[in-house]
Amino acid sequence: MSRSFLNDAGRGEGRRRLRPPSHAPDGESRADGDFVSREFSDWLLRGLLEEWRRHPDFERAAPVLVGSAARRELTPRSDLDLLFTGPEEAVRSFVGSCQQKGLRIRARVPENPEDWTVGVEVWDWLALFEARALVPAAEAELLRQREILARRASRERRSWLKVILKERRERQERYDSIANVLEPNLKYGPGGLRDLDQARQIARLFPERFIGEDFRHALGVLEYYAAFWTLLRQKLHLEGQGDVLMNASQFDLAAWFGMQHKTLMREIQRGLSRVSFYAEWIAEQAGAGEKRLSALRAVPLKTRAQAMRALEKDPSVLMQSRIRQKLDELFPLSWVRSKPRERGRCLERVLRPGASAEFIVAVFASRLIDRLCPEIVPLVGYVQHDQYHRYTADIHLQQACRQFQGVLRKPRRLGRVGKEVTALSAADQKILSWTVLYHDLMKGREGDHSALGRDLVRRDLRQFGQGQSLITEVEWLVENHLALSQAAFRKNPAAPSTWSELREMGAQGARLRRLAVFTAVDIFATNPEAWTPWKARLMSDLLKALRSPSAKVYFRLQQELAKRGIADRSAEIDDSLILKLPAAKLAEDLAEVSRPGPAQKPKVLSIGRGEVWIRFHEREDHAGIFAEYVQRLYSMGLSVRHASVHTLPGIGVYDWFQVSSRRSLQQIRQWLAAEEWPVKPPPKVKFEKVSLVSQDENEWVLSFKGLDQPGCLAAAALALSEAGMSLRSARVHTWGRQVDDLFHIVPRGDVADLLAGLRRRFEEGP
């Protein structure tokens, strides 16, 4: 062959021979007969052997096949593991010929012909139990080496087990990532072929520990998925892919199987989880002492109460396996439907504040959760294909239950939000304990999962016999569980519109606190790396803003407007104006200017502490109107301390000025009521800096900063008016001896020319 047989196998005959099963995998089958993966592996190996036997040194090299080919898991891109027992020159000749043809052979000659385990790892020793001698000359020696290994295993198998488990833990840590959930590695990832192989090796080392129906069931599951994963790898390799199930390949595989993408990936994720569980169970069963196993067998599991107590006391994978075996007997589907109160009590025991994380994991891993909460079954293996959700949907709910218990014990894990946890009452904790399980239970269904989850809470908790007040609060929290996250991280947490949205949905008081704690827990449970100090600060800032005097003023204004039947305009009004004016007074004035008819006359309002405010109103805006107002105030001897400038739909020009003057309110009102008033041109003033704060196609924002001087605002407004600029809004601030006036103007002409003219006029001074 000019290239390797394996690399050419995907062409023609190889593609024809590899085919999907007649029935799509459903994860329930205990037989692997529907998969052609082993037959395809045999076909690949037959082709290799035909090629190899033509080589004159094949028989003398005396090869022994180990690894995937020996296990009938050969794929078109497999490495070929061969151990050679013949003379060195024959081995060198044969291996060199194969490598020239492109075969990826991993060749090994025993360092010590009398002991093939010298110089290699434990898993290489164990592979000899599945090895296959390819020529008669190697058969006898392979049998002798197996006998040596078997004798050593009786003395050393526990140390071998430790080596295997150490490698398994390291590999699990290496593949514990979002990337592996979205695109699993079928060979090395958790639940992949390496886990399968190690589980079978361990079972072979400890045969006395694996007798009976429970082991036959576990072995059937492992054999089923060994055939399934091998078929997937074979198909991927035929298409030029590797062992990682890449996103693009997933859709092609789903079409090949005749399944929807999400359905196939759900079955794959479910299978990886099952393999991982049974591999862990086999390792624990092998490693446990006889005293431990005897005690485990002695635990009574004749009633549901005994099963719950046993799992809570001993949440190990060994007890989980016993509970799995008892599910149909103790928690049959008929019980699920007919005994909701008892089911609710069992769930409450799992979710109660103070439950251990190990107990929660055991309830999920034993699949007891499937009987206590049947809606979780469609979520098993359900992957949300994005770069944020680290876990499958069912494991996310498990994590949410665990994380909630964790933050109750250590509130500081939430950073600045931790103080919300310490303020939770016992009733708050109970509400949250139900919410963490139910908030995403309806994911993957048609419709809004939050609304569907709310309805499920209402149905289930009523059947469980929970009180109406608790049901109402859990319903609200499930329905709105995403609101605070969106407000804190996707919206402006300092914006009154954000506050109003949360307020309108009822996020205040105890509800707000519970929602804050839940949001942090949900993020932790989605991806532990996603909850950062930055997010904790944003959340804390939003909570502080919602509870601030400023927010209370906004909410009071909304209430006052609602009393008067006026549409809420709080989001359109300058924040500083809302904070400074009494809500009732501002609402009353907005009601006046909202009435149809001519514009309202100027209003003078005194709010105490020497603060005097003047409001101007016009139905139609026109260029230079702000400058006219400012010049009028200056001509009256009034100094503007603050200005809030608006043009509101349905109202028109609506400008407020805070002024200072030694004149009485009566004099000011008389001047404002006059048809004509003297015009006093503003003086020459100097600003320290005139700058462009920001610009886009809709708006330029200019800043005028400097010492406070009589007529400085009038001078700036007049300059902009004379430059032909139309004012969109303005914010005028005076503190101490400083002014900082911001003008939002409609773009016109060249901003550089405008700035140059203003700087010549103001920065050079009088």
- The 10s digit of each residue's pLDDT in 513-524 is 999 999 999 998
Confidence of residue 496 (pLDDT cuts 50, 70, 90): confident
Residue 236 has pLDDT above 90, yes or no: yes
Of the listed ranges 170-179, 605-614, 634-643, the least confidently predicted one is 170-179
Tell me the CATH architecture of domain 596-762: 3-Layer(aba) Sandwich (3.40)
pLDDT tens, position by position, 617-633: 999 988 888 888 888 88
Confidence of residue 495 (pLDDT cuts 50, 70, 90): confident
Residue 6 has pLDDT above 60, yes or no: no
Residue 470 has pLDDT above 70, yes or no: yes
Tokens, residue 174:
């290496």
CA distances in angstroms from 455 to 112, 239, 335, 423, 684, listed in the order given: 70, 46, 22, 29, 69
Confidence of residue 82 (pLDDT cuts 50, 70, 90): very high
Summarize the confidence of residues 473-491 as an average pLDDT. 92
**Model pTM score:** 0.77
pLDDT tens, position by position, 685-736: 899 999 999 998 888 999 999 988 888 888 998 999 999 998 877 777 777 7
Rounded to 5°, angle at Cα 762 from 759 and 765: 125
Tokens 């009038």, residue located: 714
Of the listed ranges 512-526, 557-571, 668-682, the least confidently predicted one is 668-682
Q: Which of 270, 296, 268, 291 is nearest to 281 (CA)?
A: 296
Cβ neighbours of 765 (radius 10 Å): 11
CA atoms within 13 A of residue 253's CA, in its CB half-sphere? 27
Mean residue pLDDT of the chain comes to 89
Contacts of 622 (CB under 8 A, 6+ apart): none
Buried/exposed 59-80: b ≥16 CB within 10 Å, e otherwise: bbbbbbbbbbbbbbbbbbbbeb
With beta carbons less than 8 A apart as the criterion, state whether 349 and 330 touch: no
- pLDDT value for 1: 30
pLDDT tens, position by position, 346-403: 999 999 999 999 999 999 999 999 999 999 999 998 887 655 677 889 999 999 999 9
- pLDDT value for 618: 93
Structure-model confidence comparison of residues 343 and 553, the more confident one = 343
- pLDDT value for 84: 94
- pLDDT value for 38: 93
Contacts of 568 (CB under 8 A, 6+ apart): 500, 558, 561, 562
The domain limits of the chain are: 1-283, 413-546, 596-762
- pLDDT value for 178: 67
Residue 22 has pLDDT above 80, yes or no: no
- pLDDT value for 90: 94
Structure-model confidence comparison of residues 563 and 11, the more confident one = 563
Of the listed ranges 9-18, 529-538, 641-650, the least confidently predicted one is 9-18
What does the alpha-carbon distance between residue 420 and residue 404 come to, in Å, rounded to a whole number?
A: 13
